[in-house]
Amino acid sequence: MRTADIRRRFLDFFAARDHTVVPSAPLPTPDATLLFVNAGMVPFKPYLTGEAPAPWARATSVQKCVRTLDIEEVGRTTRHGSFFQMNGNFSFGDYFKEEAIAFAWELSTAPVTGGGYGLDPDRIWVTVHHSDDESRALWRRVAGLPDERIVARGDEDNLWSMGVPGPCGPCSELYYDRGPELGRAGGPAVDEDRYMEFWNLVFMQYERGEGPGKSGYPVLGELPRRNIDTGMGLERMATLLQGAANLYETDEVRPVLERAAALAGVRYGSGAEDDVRLRVVADHVRTALMLLADGTSPGNEGRGYVLRRILRRSVRAMRRLGYGDPALVDLLAVARDSMAPGYPEVADGFERIADRAAGEEEAFGATLRQGTTVLDTAVARVKASGGRRLPGAEAFLLHDTYGFPVDLTLEMAAEQGVEVDREGFAALMREQRERARADARARKAGGTGTTALRPVLDTHGPTDWLAWSALTTASRILALLGPDGPLAAAREGEIVTAVLDRTPFYAESGGQESDAGTLSGASAEAEVLDVQRPLPGLVTHQVRVMSGELAVGDAVRAAVDPEWRLGARQAHSGTHVLHAALRQVLGPTALQSGSYNRPGHLRLDFPWRGGLSPAARSEIEEAANQALRRDLPVAVRWMTLPEAKELGALALFEETYGEKVRVVEIGGAWSRELCGGTHVEHASQIGTVALTAESSVGAGMRRLEAAVGIEGFGYLARERDLAARIAEQLQAPRAELPDRIAALLERLKTADRENQRLRRRETAARAERLAAGAVDAGGVLVVTAATDEGAAGARELATAVRDALPARRPGVVAVGAATGDRAVLATAVTGAARGLGLDASALVKRLLDGRGGGSAEAAQGGGLPAGRLESVLASVPDEVARARAAQG
What pairing do the DSSP bridges indicate for beta strands 594-598 and 166-177?
unpaired
Residue 519 CB-half CA count within 13 A: 35
Query: How far apart are alpha carbons 443 and 439 in whole angstroms?
Result: 6
Query: How far apart are alpha carbons 81 and 282 in whole angstroms?
Result: 10
Q: Is 558 exposed, middle or buried (0-12, 13-18, 19+ CB in 10 A)?
A: buried
What pairing do the DSSP bridges indicate for beta strands 419-420 and 389-390?
parallel
Of 413, 562, 560, which Cα lies nearest the Cα of 472? 560
- Residue 416's SS3 state is coil
Residue 179, Cβ neighbours under 10 Å: how many?
9
Longest dimension (CA), the chain: 104
What pairing do the DSSP bridges indicate for beta strands 524-535 and 517-520?
antiparallel
What does each C-alpha distance from 852 to 27, 455, 631 come to in angstroms? 46, 60, 63
Sheet holding 811-819, edge to edge: 775-777, 780-787, 811-819, 822-829, 858-865, 853-854
Query: How far apart are alpha carbons 787 and 199 in whole angstroms?
Result: 74
Helix H or strand E encompassing 91: strand 83-92
- Classify 459 in phi/psi space as left (phi over 0), alpha (psi -120 to 50) or beta: alpha
What does each C-alpha distance from 843 to 377, 379, 778, 779, 834 come to in angstroms? 15, 17, 15, 17, 12
Query: How far apart are alpha carbons 621 and 704 in whole angstroms?
Result: 10
- Residue 513's SS3 state is coil
Helix axes 392-402, 350-384, angle to 10 degrees: 150
Query: How far apart are alpha carbons 782 and 802 in whole angstroms?
Result: 10
572 annotated to bind ligand: yes
CB 826 within 8 A of CB 783: no
**DSSP 8-state code for residue 69:** T
Query: How far apart are alpha carbons 506 and 513 in whole angstroms?
Result: 8
Query: How far apart are alpha carbons 659 and 672 in whole angstroms?
Result: 18
Residue 301, Cβ neighbours under 10 Å: how many?
10
What does each C-alpha distance from 473 to 173, 400, 502, 543, 562 come to in angstroms? 51, 47, 7, 16, 13
**DSSP 8-state code for residue 76:** T
Q: Is 417 exposed, middle or buried (0-12, 13-18, 19+ CB in 10 A)?
A: exposed
Helix H or strand E encompassing 398: helix 392-402
Q: Is 527 exposed, middle or buried (0-12, 13-18, 19+ CB in 10 A)?
A: middle
Query: How far apart are alpha carbons 54 and 512 in whole angstroms?
Result: 28
576 annotated to bind ligand: yes
675 annotated to bind ligand: yes
Q: Is 865 exposed, middle or buried (0-12, 13-18, 19+ CB in 10 A)?
A: exposed
CB 364 within 8 A of CB 315: yes
Kindly give, in sequence order, each residue whose CB lies less than 8 Å from that of residue 433, ignoring residues fewer than 6 positions away. none
Kindly give, in sequence order, each residue whose CB lies less than 8 Å from that of residue 747, ignoring residues fewer than 6 positions away. none
Binding region for Zn(2+): 572, 576, 675, 679
Binding region: 572, 576, 675, 679
